[in-house]
Amino acid sequence: MPYTVDMSAAIAKFPEYTFICPLTPSEQKAAFHVKDAAGTDLCLKLIAPHYERDRLDREIQAMQSINNPNVVKLVEYTFSSKPGDLRHYTVEEFVEGQDLQALLTFGTIWPTKRVAEFFSGVCDGLTALREKEIVHRDLKPANIRVRPDGSPVIIDFGLARHLALPDLTQTAAGAGIGTPKYFAPEQFEGTKHDIDHRTDLFALGIMLYEALTGESPFYSPAMTTRAQLQQAVCHSTVHLSKASFLGLDPKWQTLLRRLLEAERAKRPADAAQVAMILKRLGGN
């Protein structure tokens, strides 16, 4: 369930901001479009009381360490020690535009040049994450904003994992967090130690497939259980025989096959390599 806060309560707690409107909440955060005293547009996110302090610290570390136009910027953060206080919050840059989710809909096929241009920008953001040894772990259309100029911005680092830091728990469990529709096989079947930057590349491959074919490679509305989706993602190759896939240029087919490999070792080495391929494809 998304964490929501009544806007009137938020206004009372944050008189220093002018509230414009609520934004789409997540399970961990209520979000608002606000302006500061200087008139700067910002995104104020109020943290749910149940959100782990260690996880928030990780998210903040991830955002602070990256300076890239394709990754959202952190402006300010505070974590109150008072239980239930609404002043557990972060302030991020406000990204004008809309979520990719609104544009990546069933039956909508993007021009290949647009696909190459847009997703090479996503790859540039993922490359910035990898340089800081950060895995997003919940890359999906709802976590990518599309600016009015058409460029992408990766947002919401609530599930990010810093590979150079100790794990939040001492157990091997924890791989299966995120959004199953965009899971890699290792998120269904592995442990968190199996997750690395190639996990984000699998999610990228799913979104590329959707943009190029107008349908999901694995998910079907007829699926009623997580187990059905897991079976499709981990063991099915039906997505490689769909007419919409077979109608693509062979070079696009090759890229999608590599990104959607069940074995991480068979996927591209990194997002920078994928960006280069996309830029070549976009130039054709």
pLDDT, position 41 = 97
Q: Give residue 76's pLDDT.
A: 87
Strand arrangement, sheet containing 74-78 = 18-23, 29-35, 41-47, 89-93, 74-78
Closest C-alpha among 174, 169, 206 to residue 190: 174
Report the pLDDT value the prediction gives residue 189, as an integer from 0 to 100. 82
CB-based contact 64:128 (threshold 8 Å): no
Q: Alpha-carbon distance 122 to 143, whole Å?
A: 11
Q: According to the model, what pLDDT value does residue 24 have?
A: 86
pLDDT tens figures, 165-205: 444 443 344 444 557 899 999 999 866 778 899 999 999 99
Q: Which residue numbers in the chain have pLDDT < 50?
A: 165-176
pLDDT one-digit tens code per residue, 142-163:
999 999 999 999 998 766 666 5
Q: In what order do the strands lie in the sheet with 152-154?
A: 98-99, 144-146, 152-154
Q: State the virtual CA torsion across 204, 132, 138, 118 in degrees, nearest 10.
A: -30
Does the active-site annotation cover 6?
Answer: no
Return the pLDDT at 223. Answer: 92
Spell out the domains of the chain, with CATH numbers in brackets. Answer: 7-93 (3.30.200.20), 98-165+174-282 (1.10.510.10)
pLDDT for residue 166? 47
CA dist 189 and 46 (Å) reads: 33
* Bridge partners of residue 35, in order along the sequence: 18, 41
Helix H, strand E, coil C: the string for the chain is CCCCCCHHHHHHHCCCCEEEEEECCCCCEEEEEEECCCCCEEEEEEECCCCCHHHHHHHHHHHHCCCCCCECCEEEEECCCCCCCCCCEEEEECCCCEEHHHCCCCCCCCCHHHHHHHHHHHHHHHHHHHHCCEECCCCCHHHEEECCCCCEEECCCCCCEECCCCCCCCCCCCCCCCCHHHCCHHHHHCCHHHCCHHHHHHHHHHHHHHHHHCCCCCCCCCCCCHHHHHHHHHHCCHHHCCHHHHCCCHHHHHHHHHHCCCCHHHCCCCHHHHHHHHHHHHCC
Q: Which of 36, 41, 54, 138 is catalytic?
A: 138
The dihedral sign for the CA sequence 248, 267, 59, 25: positive
